[in-house]
Amino acid sequence: MNFTHYNLGFLAAGTIVTVTLSGTEANVELLDESNFHAYKARVRHHYTGGHYRRSPAVLSVPNDGTWHVVVDLGGLVGNVRSGVQVRRPVRR
């Protein structure tokens, strides 16, 4: 299973994660720690994101915790390059 993995560490709810894609369309998944392990084990998992034909994919962290981004082709043929930017929420 080929995928690109970004360990984002601890993020607060409301953090915005922007994933840029270059090349082939791809699946972009934002996963918490337990769902990332399920993804790697190829079992049912829950995520924020989906299949993106255009860049960027802009995702919001739903709750505090350790988060991961996975980019994969979902069985499609091609090449994709990706990058991740994290914008932490402004606390007032």
Average pLDDT over residues 56-74: 96
Average pLDDT over residues 48-77: 95
Domain range list for the chain: 4-87
Provide the terminal-to-terminal Cα distance of the chain, rounded to the nearest Å.
43
Domain 4-87 fold = Hypothetical Protein Tm1070; Chain: A (2.60.290)
SS3 36: helix
8-26 confidence digits (pLDDT tens): 999 999 999 999 999 989 9
What's the pTM value of the predicted model, to 2 decimals?
Answer: 0.92
Name the average pLDDT for the chain. 94
CA distance 66 to 83: 18
What radius of gyration, in Å, describes the C-alpha atoms of the chain? Answer: 13
